Amino acid sequence: MKVKEKVYSFTPESIENHALWVRERYQNKPAFAAEYLTKLLEVNGIMESGNPSVQRVKKIIEDFEENALAALSDGLNKSKNDESVDDLEKASREIYFRKQIEEFYLPKQLVDAIMENGEIPDKSEESIIGIGFLDIADYTYLSKFLTPMENQIVLNGLYAAFSWVLQRRGGYLNKIEGDSLMFHFGGNIDPNVKGLTPKETEDYIARELFYTCVEMQRVAFQFNEANKSFLYGNKNEDIQIQIEKAFDIISTMRNSEFSQSINAFFQIRIRIGANIGEVTMGNFGPEGSKQWDVIGVPVIKAKRMESTAPIGGFRISEELYRVLKENGIVDDYYRRFKREAQALFGSFSNITMDELFKYNKVTLKEKKGAEFITYSIQVNPGLPEAIMKQVDLLLNRGEDGADRIVNLLQYYRGNKFVISKIESAFKERSLRIRVGDIYNFIFPKKYTAMVKAAQGNRNLVDRNLEEKYSLFDIFELLGSLQDTLKTEFEFKDKPVFSFNSYDKYMDALSKWVIRENSVKEKRVYQRNYFYNYVFPMVFLSIRTSILEYQHKTGELTEV
């Protein structure tokens, strides 16, 4: 099998032409010309190439070196400090600097793929790829704890860690935008799919994309604690340096005199969304600003998976789940996750398959109520206990602490394991949540009927409700009410009216429109009432209960 000749930034042929020009122009400066051409071959990585053009350039270098030696022995070698040598030095520096810029800014994986291809692709192509989006949850809040320079160092370290995961698994880091990034597998820049059948390609992409999402989440947890055990096998010194710089900042914060406050408030958590599908891959943008990118509905869908993903976990599309299920990855991951949770004696020890891969219909209001079938996935076997520990630290941090706990409850209100552990933290501190009041906010008519049946004894009703409903049950009730209000109102099909006369026909139409609008107005009112009153009041009640606890115990610590 013939090995394809490697392609370089400067082709061997162009370097040979340049060497011929140098030989003609700088015969009287042989030592410097030999040094210059040698560096040119080294910078382009072709010093050891067997390419004929490279061999001819080496012969020119040998001739220069022989002439330089002869000139030295004859005392004829002149100083290099003249105008011609200055021009050559300038050209040498420019070539070397351009190479540095290329290596600094251009993705190595992309450059290698184009070199292997032999030319810059000038046409787009359709490819099956797996796409992932990652976002740091609430980074604007976290950034308040850091100076601008520290923010840059921590973010660079975090992205270096994610980049290391991608390098290990063969993924491509497409772009970084602020506190989020995009990555993918497959396509003609992925050497791991070359020669695979379409089915093998799909299986490979799905597997690597899934486990990359898992690893990135776990790396985020370890990064948060300045634990670099995930770097095993890494030989990239730049990645090591960036991560260690970030760890220096995080370790200093967590061991400072304000460590309790920092540990309570500064917790880096991410959300990830992933999808698989056929996209268009190619060059996009005007001349001088070209970017290798992927576009298509699967990319948009992957972004929507990320925007609705659980914090500390990730959300995948129905298409990706199907491939993972067929491959046995869903079952393998469930067994692995459960073993790890049981080893920790954590809340996830008895998690079911349906709870680990939680089926959801995601509705997007901005897309006229478009629905997507998705699965949200847990990653950290110790997540409920980690959140419980953070809430315990936040409980005596005043109103800021109360606000942060409420945020966590809003984030995780659909996760019964996390909410149960938070409720355990409340009970251990004898912090009482007013379940009766919350139930009244959600179902005022039902609550009024209960009080009436109890002959006006609200305390009895409240005690019964607190015994019947856990905090997670309350959030389930809240979610059920929210789901009933999610669907967008649409006018029903106009009924068929018999035409008798203009006036009678328009009168019938007018009555139909009025009836439909009254239904729509009621739906809009119910939705506004829920989002502007019911939902806020539920969490304001919990926040007030936390403040009540702080007031009673006097456990207030300045942040």
pLDDT in tens, 326-369: 999 999 999 999 999 999 999 999 999 999 999 988 776 555 55
- DSSP 3-state assignment of 346? coil
pLDDT tens digits, one per residue of 392-448: 999 989 999 999 999 999 989 989 999 999 999 999 999 999 999 999 999 999 999
Average pLDDT over residues 160-166: 92
SS3 522: helix
Residue 89: pLDDT band with limits 50, 70, 90: low
pLDDT at 387: 94
Query: 282 near 123, Cβ under 8 Å?
Result: yes
Could you tell me if 64 and 29 are in contact, meaning their C-beta atoms sit under 8 angstroms apart? no
Mean pLDDT throughout 489-493?
A: 59
Question: Tokens 């921590």 label which residue?
Answer: 154
Q: How confident is the model at residue 72 (pLDDT cuts 50, 70, 90)?
A: low
Mean residue pLDDT across the chain: 85
**What's CA 296's distance to the chain center, in Å?**
19
Q: For 252-261, what is each residue's pLDDT tens digit?
A: 888 877 777 8
Check if the beta carbon of residue 442 is closer than 8 Å to that of residue 538.
yes
Among the listed residues 367, 325, 530, 545, the one whose alpha carbon sits nearest the alpha carbon of residue 444 = 530
pLDDT digits (tens, 9 = 90+) for 97-127: 666 656 566 666 676 666 666 666 677 788 9
Render the burial of 91-113: b for 16+ CB within 10 Å, e for the rest: ebeebeeebeeeeeeeeebeeeb
For residue 302, name the pLDDT band (cuts at 50, 70, 90).
very high
Q: Tell whether the model's pLDDT for residue 370 goes beyond 80.
A: no
Q: Cα 131–132–135 angle (5° rounding)?
A: 155
pLDDT at residue 171 is higher than 70: yes
The whole-number average pLDDT for the span 236-242 is: 87
CA distance 71 to 88: 20
Q: What percent of the chain has pLDDT over 90?
A: 48
Under the banding of pLDDT at 50, 70 and 90, the label for residue 234 is confident
Q: How far apart are CA 481 and CA 319, in angstroms?
A: 29
pLDDT at 7: 41
What band does 2 get if pLDDT is binned at 50, 70 and 90?
very low
Q: What are phi and psi of 312, to 5 degrees?
A: 90, 0
Q: Residue 520: CA atoms inside 13 Å, Cβ hemisphere, count? A: 11
Q: Where do the domains of the chain lie, and which CATH numbers do they carry?
A: 12-105 (no CATH), 109-381 (3.30.70.1230), 408-553 (no CATH)
Q: Which residues pair with 136 in a beta bridge?
A: 270
Angle between helices 198-224 and 237-254 (to 10 degrees): 40
The average pLDDT across 521-537 equals 89
pLDDT at 97 (0 to 100): 66
Residue 263's nearest CA partner among 276, 277, 253, 273 is: 253
pLDDT for residue 85 = 55
pLDDT number for residue 4:
39
Cα(first)–Cα(last) distance of the chain, in Å?
A: 68
10 Å Cβ neighbour count for 11?
15
Q: Which pLDDT belongs to residue 23?
A: 87
Distance CA 406, CA 390 (A): 12
- Global pTM value: 0.74
Q: Which residues pair with 134 in a beta bridge?
A: 181, 272
Return the pLDDT at 210. 97
Q: Which tens digits make up the pLDDT trace of 373-388?
A: 999 999 999 999 999 9
Q: Which tops the pLDDT comparison, 141 or 110?
A: 141
Of residues 9 and 355, the one with the higher pLDDT is 355
In this prediction, residue 5 has a pLDDT band, given cuts at 50, 70 and 90, of very low
Q: Which residue has the higher pLDDT, 404 or 176?
A: 404
